[in-house]
Structure 1
């Protein structure tokens, strides 16, 4: 790898608000470097692999999974909404917000990696879910996101209908779990340095500086 190149692998779920916060902070860190070539790939992680197609009320889910009170949940959503605003991303949580299964979304993202549109699609899916409050387990919603970033609607529908990448996605999920990934976002730099959670831009920039120095 050249001295001005860096590989970044992001293990993430569309349902994870901290994943879009972490990505926006990563972008801020990368903006501090001139002429840096970044090879970035997203990898699947399902926060709720057993979730049914109807999803679950967000507040109920957070209470069941984390033991949060309604007040704590509201405070966390408010905090995330402000963080998003500071980073140029709009969270539109409401009392009717729901959480969904994301296996289909990950299959579409797996396909998008072959087209060079994976990051565009990932960001479109974040916006579709968090900003527009749409269901990422709905094939029509996924196709809409795909077409917004220039992907072929008919091919996207075929990928989702025949589930040609379902096994590959599940295998990749298990691979990352076997490597110790238990929460997201998890960002791996140059296949050797793991950054867990949505770290601040300065912390990420320090790591990138270290990696570039090592490469030089």
Structure 2
């Protein structure tokens, strides 16, 4: 089964959705899957150097108090899937274009899912600035990528346009929020839904394929 995931690296619900998908896959150990991650920038107009986290979230949600209330609720959701969100440690809200470029290259390197996990951890738990090239290079090395090559690609701006175009295509397909999961190019699961939603989709796909393969 092919699973395409449209996501942003600063989206906490995408991290939660990843855990819920993993739980569903654990319940179907015989299911062979190929997972690919695709870009979606929640804040495409974010300055290249990012923004002060407190100022940005207060402006985005109307006040610092409202932002804290929302993130406290996300913390509770994270605890349910063993993600210890540490929002207080995050000092910068980054532009995520470069992190998506790195994720694109990780697909070819065969470590895309591992890299996405590393980026989520470094941002949401360790509070690192994943818009910083040094952080991205360290994440790439941790995932097993060639850090020298990654540094060169980041520096010369490789694949900026391709990543932006892929983001645009997702929006043209009707994706307006993330995470967004596309199964076998036919079925969609929108949002960080519980494992049961994925299991139902898996079963539906299996039923459809069985019907298509049945002799007439």
| TM-score normalised by the chain length of structure 1 | 0.91
CA distance in 1, matches of 2:203, 2:90: 43
CA distance in 2, matches of 1:183, 1:162: 30
Q: Does 1:46 align with 2:41?
A: yes
Q: Does 1:190 align with 2:190?
A: no
For the 8 Å contact 1:107–1:163, the answer to whether it is kept is no
Q: Does 1:127 align with 2:136?
A: no
Q: Does 1:77 align with 2:105?
A: no
- Tell me which protein shows more helix as a share of its residues: 2
CA distance in 2, matches of 1:135, 1:59: 14
Match of residue 31, structure 1, among 8, 26, 29 = 26
Match of 2:138 in 1: 144
Match of residue 65, structure 1, among 44, 47, 60 = 60
CA distance in 2, matches of 1:146, 1:187: 24
Between 1:53-62 and 1:107-116, the stretch displaced more is 53-62
Residue-by-residue CA offset, 1:77-121 (whole Å, 9 max, x unaligned): 222223223212221111763311011111111111111111111
CA distance in 2, matches of 1:126, 1:42: 13
CA distance in 2, matches of 1:13, 1:84: 17
Runs of 4+ more than 4 Å apart: none
| TM-score normalised by the chain length of structure 2 | 0.91
Match of residue 7, structure 2, among 8, 12, 15 = 12
Between 1:71-80 and 1:56-65, the stretch displaced more is 56-65
For the 8 Å contact 2:61–2:67, the answer to whether it is kept is no
Match of residue 200, structure 1, among 194, 197, 204 = 194
CA distance in 1, matches of 2:11, 2:184: 23
Unpaired runs of 5+ in structure 2? Answer: 211-216
CA distance in 2, matches of 1:95, 1:128: 11
Unpaired runs of 5+ in structure 1? Answer: 1-5
Between 1:147-156 and 1:81-90, the stretch displaced more is 81-90
Pairs aligned (count): 210
CA distance in 2, matches of 1:83, 1:142: 27
Match of 2:213 in 1: none
1:167–1:95 distance in 2 versus 1, CA, 3 Å: closer
Residue 66 of structure 1, CA deviation? 3.9
